[in-house]
Amino acid sequence: MKKVIIQDQLFEMFPDFRREIVIVHSLQNRSSYKPVRKILKKEIDSRLGIDLTSEPRLHSWDDAHRKFGSTPEEYLPSIKSLLGRIQSNAALPFINSVVALFNYISLKYCLPCGGDDVATIEGDLILGQADGSETFQPLGSEITENPMPGEVIYFDSKTKNVMCRRWNWRNGDLTKIEVSSQSLVINIDCLPPISEETGKEAQEELVSLLQKYCKAEIKTGSLNRNCRELVVG
């Protein structure tokens, strides 16, 4: 049985970190879907003009990246990158319904949210620190690279393929969610000042949206310093 596991050293650095998890076992995904487009567009429009320099929920991720040796000004945390992109162009590419819905959740709650196709993963899904031997193929690229030792990565324990570098900076190509994907793990990452209640609210809203617009079959779970692994199937 595959598991999502957060390694102990991550909680040594970030004891209040929480990961809300949405496990999808089957769904109807679409490459274009007007109702979901409308939801995402409305949220994009509501976030225009936000001051990225004074938002404490962004500062927490900048600080986290610096703590494990990254440079958030160069390697932007995903939520900061997402908010920055829509300031210059009030739109995001519509990859598919699932990606659009977790982008909506990211924008609404100002937190990192992303997912992977579990069928492309051979071992457990590990969030922890790299030793530098792991391999990463960036989304949309054929180039393979290695993470820096100590970098926070999300990776396949069997193949050592990295699904996301610098915690939430850049996704990998090999586990991307496509229209044909049927088994997914979606992560909603929370650091203070995001509360446990807000993380749960984001998780519950995403579940509701996936059930409504993708007819998804779903289970949920939470990982934190008191519960560091979860069976996903």
Q: Which two tokens stand for residue 64?
A: 């986290």
Q: Give the pLDDT of residue 96.
A: 98
Q: How many CA atoms lie within 13 A of 181 on its CB side?
A: 27
Amino acid at position 46, single letter = S
pLDDT in tens, 7-32: 999 999 999 999 999 999 999 999 99
Angle between helices 78-88 and 97-109 (to 10 degrees): 100
pLDDT in tens, 183-215: 999 999 999 999 999 999 999 999 999 999 999
Domain that holds residue 87: 3-231
pLDDT above 90 coverage of the chain, percent: 98
pLDDT above 70 coverage of the chain, percent: 100
Could you tell me the pTM of the whole model?
A: 0.97
CATH classification of the domain holding 212: 3.50.40.10
Q: Give the pLDDT of residue 140.
A: 94
Judge whether residue 68 has pLDDT over 90: yes
Domain count, the chain: 1
pLDDT in tens, 99-154: 999 999 999 999 999 999 999 999 999 999 999 999 999 999 999 999 999 999 99
Q: What is the mean pLDDT of residues 159-172?
A: 98
When pLDDT is cut at 50, 70 and 90, the band that residue 233 belongs to is: confident
Mean pLDDT, the chain, integer? 97
Phi, psi of 113, rounded to the nearest 5 degrees: -145, 130
Q: Give the pLDDT of residue 19.
A: 98
| Cα 42 from Cα 86, distance rounded (Å) | 12
| Cα 8 from Cα 13, distance rounded (Å) | 9
Q: What is the mean pLDDT of residues 57-77?
A: 97
Give the Cβ contact number of residue 196 at 10 Å.
14
Residues whose CB is less than 8 angstroms from the CB of residue 3 and which lie 6 or more positions away in sequence, other chains included: 124, 125, 229, 230, 231, 232
Query: Dihedral (C-alpha) 69, 103, 128, 61: value to the nearest 10 degrees?
Result: 30
